[in-house]
Amino acid sequence: MDDSLKRSAEAGDVDALYSIISHDPDVLETLDRIPLIDTPLHIAASVGNTHFALEMATLKPSFAWKLNGHGLSPMHLALLNGHDQLVTSMITLIDSELVRVKAKWRMTPLHYVAQTENIDLLAELLSASPSSIEDLTVRCETAVHVAVKNGRLSAFKVLLGWLRRANKEEILKWKDEDGNTVLHIATFTNQPKVVELLIGTVNVNAKNFNGLTAMDMFHLMAGDSKDSEVGKILRRAKAKTASEISASSTSLAQFLFRDLTLIEKRDKYFGVFGQNKKKSADGIRNIVLVVALLIAIATYQTGLSLWRDDTKTGVYILFYSSFTFNSAAFFASVWTILILITGLPYSNMLSIPICFLSYAYCGTIQSTMLRNDGFINLINMFVLMLFFIPLVSSARLEVLKHHVDNLKRRAGGFV
């Protein structure tokens, strides 16, 4: 780099920068053609010359993404030297996705800040680029892994709060290159407050790639001491060692040996899940609205179809054949709705009125037409199966998804 250009960056002299460019219009393009180099933006970011850095990033946005010979971007250099204002100015005025620029070891600015207790800046980075929480280092670590490995409780709480509000708690189950979840790390490093916050959100019996659960990690950490706070929290959560977990637990290979589940068949032939991934928020709301409308129509039709006893003749207006076909159509419709909404947003909320509707239908049959308790019990069992089959299929599908996600991250298929 030209010495005069370097001096202008160190001094933050914008006028000198333009003077240099006027004498050599190709000076910045020449620097940009070099893959790894300290650009004037790197130098300005290192010393905290915010105005010069913004001017340079405006003239040459690619410099903001370029790494120097040490594998660091201007954002990383600003963070390492404590220039938070420059960092926030860059993501506000230049590009919010700079939060995701990957330096050496695929460390993003979010990973760097997660190592500190600078929770205000951490929150700003998350707000600027919400998807940055999904970025992984070469060790398959999320920002949550990094915060816990460095014992940063406040940073962990900020990240946890963000995941809960963004409905992304699934990230807490992601594993690093050794197969360790955040719970494994918090247990082994004896962080009871982190462990307590994770209980109820993660699988306490998840195994790492060495086949160890969090309880196994606790025993490795605690040695002969069984009374530590972490151990008490894990025991209250019914955590088990790997040897205590049933050998019948499903592995990916075992799962693939089985036939397709009901939900998988639905996805295969109708593509419901694949389409839903691409739905906008408005599209999802429309799906929910249609399902709710179907429920309302079914409720109305059921009300009109109630059996009434003719007091003059003493016979039923509808015969058993009508009852049989009507009921079969009703339960088939309800089951179809359940199959289609399973796995969609708000499906749990919609399953409650569907359940009430089905049992109301059974109650109507019992009170108006049928007096055979055995037959009514049979119908009740059928309704339970109606709900049980889709839910079990959905749970099995989640097992497969969990295994596949782990394999992708383990194989380098970064999110």
CA distance 159 to 122: 8
**What residues does each domain of the chain span?**
1-94, 262-410
Each residue's pLDDT, cut to its tens digit, for the chain (415 residues) gives 779 999 999 999 999 999 999 999 999 999 999 999 999 999 999 999 999 999 999 999 999 999 999 999 999 999 999 999 999 999 999 999 999 999 999 999 999 999 999 999 999 999 999 999 999 999 999 999 999 999 999 999 999 999 999 989 999 999 999 999 999 999 999 999 999 999 999 999 999 999 999 999 999 886 655 668 999 999 999 999 998 886 545 566 766 777 776 666 756 665 544 444 444 444 554 665 576 567 656 654 655 555 554 444 444 446 556 666 666 667 777 776 766 666 666 666 777 777 777 777 776 666 655 555 555 565 666 666 655 555 555 555 555 555 556 655 555 444 3
pLDDT at 334: 72
Q: Which CATH architecture has domain 1-94?
A: Alpha Horseshoe (1.25)
pLDDT at 280: 47
CA distance 14 to 234: 58
Return the sign of the alpha-carbon dihedral for residues 192, 194, 199, 202.
negative
Q: What's the token pair of residue 235?
A: 């025991």
pLDDT at 324: 64
pLDDT at 133: 96
Burial class of 389 by CB neighbour count within 10 A (0 to 12, 13 to 18, 19+): middle
pLDDT at 263: 62
Closest listed residue to residue 142, CA positions, set 181, 103, 116:
181
Q: Which amino acid is at 276?
A: N
pLDDT at 115: 96
Q: pTM of the predicted model, to two decimals?
A: 0.70
pLDDT at 414: 40
